[in-house]
Structure 1
Amino acid sequence: MCGIYWFIAVWMCSAPPQLLVGLRVGLQMAQAANCSRWGSPSEKGLFEDGDVIIGGLFSLRYSPPDKNHDFIQLPENRPCTGLQNLPLQYIYAMVFALEEINHSSTLLPGLKLGYRIHDSCALPAWALQAALSLVGGGASTCKTTDGKEEHINEKEGGQPVPLIIGGSSSVAANILSRILEPMSVPLVSYTASCPCLSDKKQYPNFFRTMASDIYQAHAITKLAIRYKWTWIGAVIANNDYGQMAVKVFQEGIQGAGVCLAFIETLERENIVRDAKRAALTIKASTAKVILIFTWYTDVMELFQQLAKTNVTDRQFLASEAWSTSTDLLQNVVSHKVARGVLGLAIRSAAVPGFENYLRNLNPSLHPDDEFLREFWEKEFGCTPVEAARSSNNSLPQHRSLHKASLPPCKGTETLEEVQNLFTDTSQLRVTYNVYLAVYAAAHALHSLLSCPDRESPSGNNISTCSFPKQIKPFEGISQQFFLGSTRCDRCPSEFWSNSERTECIPRQLDFLSFNETLGIALSAVAISGATLTTAVFVVFLLYRHTPVVRANNSELSFLLLMSLKLCFLCSLVFIGRPSVWSCRFQQAAFGISFVLSVSCLQVKTIVVLAAFRSARPGAETLMKWFGPGQQRGSVCLFTCVQVWYFPLEVVTCINMIEITGAVLLSV
């Protein structure tokens, strides 16, 4: 596999002032968070106490649970599976760097750094839950929906973190940065490469040890132009990482004679289906060069689908996310498909002592390390002895049952001869980014806590860093943050959500009262109209046998006067405090009354027209087919249609109002 290495500018000897600012405020604001238990996606984690706790979020597992899309109940975060060796190496790179710093006499002397590390399963929702748990601390007070305070404790300690190393994808980094920014908690990412994250106005608390994808996309553009590849297909991750990269690539190839044949997207939640579709598109296309911007596990599934369709004659342009994947090189199926790969890679660097540190890891020395325990079971097929002894006391019941299916380890197992991605330190790429991120945070803390100059002679005096509690917050920050939930709950009836969408408040009812001037005027008009109509009705009734009334179609006239009277009286229902029965009755009653009056007018108009045409030949037939019976039937037909349709319209309107309200509350 060919590789074109691109290099990353990072902090080493000094930290950016923005990170110092974020740390200063983050140390204060993290302590002000009020809720700690956010439904963490996994009870497993890696924890170590210290004077300052550094948070860590890593995508350790890459097999997400199946989603339930029946929309019958709220979605449930079920555990992920498939522990990956390479992300596990990232975790211990962070631990290794922190242990190095704690043993240093020049960097943060007298101050111990601890850590709280969680698995985010490469899902932004779980990364958000874990991040909120980190900044909230392990033990705190939560406010329930009824306003009462509830104390929640966790076994992992209660100190909130002032900084988080994480955001393994650009999507997760985008979400986490926006959520953590009001609390001034810095986020240092080791792989998020979206150019959008470089905007300090939108992401003032985001930092990274990874180069922007803009440079990678420009490099791939130059490769395509250099080798005169004029017809290229693209398969990208359906997120900011893939979309931004292909956008920059398209802008770069304009006017250079290079065209994109197709763009296929992959989503991890539906990777099998998407990979099958992309493989069929690649097979059907005449493009022989395929650009792939996605994660290496997604590429593995794509290559397996290509092997099934016997597509083995394509040249692949690889992004840094999979160009150096050892799994793809060693896999027989993927190696057959990707015989030629040209791509870019993250800079590799050596970390002295790290390989020896990894090979000396053993669950017997770290009995509380859940990640190492699971890796040990996967690698050696046995349960560590120390873990088996403590399973009944410290582990959940489902975990103990799983252990019962594995034999106990002999105690002689070691990683000295194990060869896999976890122990392979020949090319530390993302691992080195994690290592640099930890040191960047340490240098920022060193400058922030008034630590002694590390270049000064150490024998002059013994000095240590200032204690973190001596840090004063910025002026203007005494705020109290109340975090409620990662999902929205619908407010009960008679309540609205406030403008901040943080609590339910009573609805404000606005209606036209009978006591108001406008209400009195409208009521007077309605009553006067109904009275006048009644008077006319009485006059017509008294003189119903006279030729004038009979010539005016007395039956339709009586019906028209009655409907007009009802229309006047229905308007009174729209005045006064609304209720359920009035809201449903007022529209139906007015609609039916109005249609009845219009129907009478229409039939009377037709009768008049027929009367004027009575002198013409054939007029007798017209009057025969539109006699008194047909007139009554027409009025009943038109009115019955409205009687049948209008209640359905009212119910539909009410349902649409409720649905719209629910959508607005969820937004």
Structure 2
Amino acid sequence: MGDLKYPLLSKNGDVTIGALFPIRSIEKLPSFEFTQKPQLLSCSSVNLRGFRMAQTMIFAIEEINQSESLLPNVSIGYRIYDSCGSRLSSMSATMALMNGPESSVGDRCNGQSPIHAIIGETESSATVILSRTTGTFKIPVISHAASCECLSNRKDYPSFFRTIASDYHQSRALAYIVKHFGWSWVGAVNSDNDYGNNGMAIFLNTAQEEGICVEYSKVVETIKKSTAKVIVAFLTTSEMYMLLKQLSIQNITGLQMIGVESWITAKYLLIPNSFHVLGGSLGFAVRKNDIEGFSDYVIKSFWDTAFPCSQSETNSSQYASRCTVNQDLLVLRNYNEDIPEQRYASNVYKAVYAVAHSLHKLLKCKEKESCEKYLKIQPQQVVEALKKVNFTVKIEDHVWFDSTGGVVARYEVVNWQQDSDGSIQFKPVGYYDASLPPDQRFVLNTENILWAGGQLEVNGTNMFILLGEQNV
């Protein structure tokens, strides 16, 4: 990954947005034998979803930089760090973002922050750490994926915003599915962390309100011995992957899975024989929004600007070094088949635009004219401006933040179905929209659902609820 003092992807601008994404997923720690100077942390194994988030951020910034109406004559720069899905790397990157490049410290005595906002993190627990660290300095953090209800506490996280809904809504919606199908006896397991504990508490409260009895239980062995045939899995993609592997190894099939947005549309889970376990899965997904021009951008424009590794530029030691360090990313240069299911991309896109609209107001910009781009903007001013943003992006989403820094909860309900050619599709079969009246928020088209085992009707009266830390 290179020196954590320096970003993986960067570009200078009049104003700067920082970001932390899990672009790689395996962290290698240096030796602590103290026989030599400690080496830098290194990361490997590309996380495609995290990489697409970084590309989406740069795409949105380039789009804004070309706009004549939003921030005219002001360029946005960026500093994107790879958090490697690690608390250690994330903390190191956070400190680097707040302090700026080591070489510029002597030049920054003007009282102006090196960055104006941070996009990230992806996991809820990592975002808690990020927000607590930056909160003292009143630097706004906008997350695209951290959904723990705990982050809605404005006393603890006064500078936090997010373009994904709080899990308060998803946890309650799980209880509504349980009630909808008449399942009255459930088992429940959660990870012992911010996301799992908060999500479990909300689910239990709602289940009690709806007259649902809950029994705590362990996972694979209990599933194997139980007569319950329905499992609600509130897990990270990686946790769901491990559960999937264990269920496959022990040949446990025919279970009806009810899932959440972290894994229900994750193609990472489409491993050999996975459909035997996950076929018919039903769950809540982040709504899909096609960002016009993004697919073409990730094939051509992004690589030309971020990693210019063409033959004509191989003489540049700067480019050669960057390309050598990121060989694992360059493998993805011509790949875009995953783009249609990049549901979190629109959240990153909206987060960047939220910062841009805030800066547009603070710099006293006038449409198609100019901005007072040399004004000193403090992070706290951006925080206050973010509270007042109200705009619509080209993907036709209306963006504004409520009193907790969150957005309205809108989920698509999807069903894992297999086409005639054997490919697995995530078919929409309903929705949950918290902006609608209570009796209209949750709609499920049961006649379009294909259940586990290819059944058109669901059987059984018992189920398990699994809650765990979110991860995309």
TM-score (norm 1): 0.51
Alignment of 1:311 onto 2:252: yes
Q: Which residue of 1 aligns with 2:124?
A: 170
Match of 2:305 among 362, 366, 369: 366
Q: Which residue of 2 aligns with 1:301?
A: 242
Q: Which residue of 2 aligns with 1:467?
A: 373
Distance in 1 (alpha carbons) for counterparts of 2:13 and 2:104: 22
Q: Give 1:248 deviation, angstroms.
A: 1.0
* Cα contact 1:54–1:161 (8 A) shared by 2: yes
Q: Give 1:388 deviation, angstroms.
A: 6.0
Q: Which residue of 1 aligns with 2:73?
A: 110
Match of 1:182 among 129, 136, 139: 136
Q: Which residue of 1 aligns with 2:446?
A: none
Distance in 2 (alpha carbons) for counterparts of 1:334 and 1:235: 22
The SS at the match of 1:183 is: coil
Map 1:75-224; keep pairs closer than 5 Å.
78-140=41-103, 160-224=114-178
After superposition, the C-alpha distances for 1:647-666 in whole angstroms (9 at most, x for unaligned) are xxxxxxxxxxxxxxxxxxxx
Distance 1:313 1:138, change over 3 A: same
Matched to 1:335, the amino acid is F
Match of 1:285 among 226, 235, 246: 226
Distance 1:116 1:66, change over 3 A: closer
Distance in 2 (alpha carbons) for counterparts of 1:92 and 1:393: 18
The SS at the match of 1:80 is: strand
Distance in 1 (alpha carbons) for counterparts of 2:306 and 2:127: 32
Distance in 1 (alpha carbons) for counterparts of 2:360 and 2:122: 26
Distance in 1 (alpha carbons) for counterparts of 2:272 and 2:16: 43
Match of 2:289 among 324, 349, 352: 349
Residues 230-239 or 181-190, more deviating? 230-239
* Cα contact 2:146–2:164 (8 A) shared by 1: yes
Distance in 1 (alpha carbons) for counterparts of 2:46 and 2:189: 25
Larger relative contact order (C-alpha < 8 A, sep ≥ 6)?
A: 2
Number of residues of Structure 1 aligned to a counterpart in Structure 2: 376
Q: Give 1:451 deviation, angstroms.
A: 0.6
Matched to 1:240, the amino acid is D
Map 1:49-60; keep pairs closer than 5 Å.
49-60=12-23
Alignment of 1:338 onto 2:244: no
Distance in 2 (alpha carbons) for counterparts of 1:234 and 1:67: 39
Distance in 2 (alpha carbons) for counterparts of 1:341 and 1:474: 44
Matched to 1:279, the amino acid is V
Distance in 2 (alpha carbons) for counterparts of 1:84 and 1:205: 28
Q: Give 1:389 deviation, angstroms.
A: 5.0
Give the gaps of 5 or more residues in structure 1.
1-38, 143-150, 265-277, 374-383, 476-667
Distance in 1 (alpha carbons) for counterparts of 2:286 and 2:177: 17
More helix by share: 1
TM-score (norm 2): 0.70
Q: Give 1:297 deviation, angstroms.
A: 2.6
Give the CA RMSD over aligned residues. 3.7
Map 1:19-58; keep pairs closer than 5 Å.
41=4, 45-58=8-21
Q: Which residue of 2 aligns with 1:20?
A: none
Q: Give 1:261 deviation, angstroms.
A: 3.9
* Cα contact 2:162–2:351 (8 A) shared by 1: yes
Q: Give 1:57 deviation, angstroms.
A: 0.8
Match of 1:447 among 361, 366, 371: 361
Distance in 1 (alpha carbons) for counterparts of 2:326 and 2:344: 32
Map 1:211-610; keep pairs closer than 5 Å.
211-254=165-208, 256-263=210-217, 278-328=219-269, 330-361=270-301, 363=303, 365-366=304-305, 368=307, 385=311, 390=316, 395=321, 415=334, 418-421=335-338, 424=339, 426-452=340-366, 454=367, 458=368, 463-471=369-377
The SS at the match of 2:42 is: coil
* Cα contact 1:304–1:333 (8 A) shared by 2: no
After superposition, the C-alpha distances for 1:47-92 in whole angstroms (9 at most, x for unaligned) are 101001110111112234479999x999987423210222211111
Q: Give 1:442 deviation, angstroms.
A: 0.3
Distance in 1 (alpha carbons) for counterparts of 2:173 and 2:156: 27
Distance 1:367 1:434, change over 3 A: closer
Distance 1:93 1:471, change over 3 A: closer
Q: Give 1:245 deviation, angstroms.
A: 1.2
* Cα contact 2:299–2:336 (8 A) shared by 1: no
Distance in 1 (alpha carbons) for counterparts of 2:379 and 2:23: 35
The SS at the match of 1:327 is: helix
* Cα contact 1:449–1:466 (8 A) shared by 2: yes
Q: Which residue of 1 aligns with 2:433?
A: none
Distance in 2 (alpha carbons) for counterparts of 1:352 and 1:320: 23
Q: Which residue of 2 aligns with 1:528?
A: none
More strand by share: 2
* Cα contact 1:171–1:239 (8 A) shared by 2: yes
Q: Give 1:343 deviation, angstroms.
A: 0.7
Q: Give 1:320 deviation, angstroms.
A: 0.8
Larger Rg: 1
Q: Give 1:105 deviation, angstroms.
A: 0.6
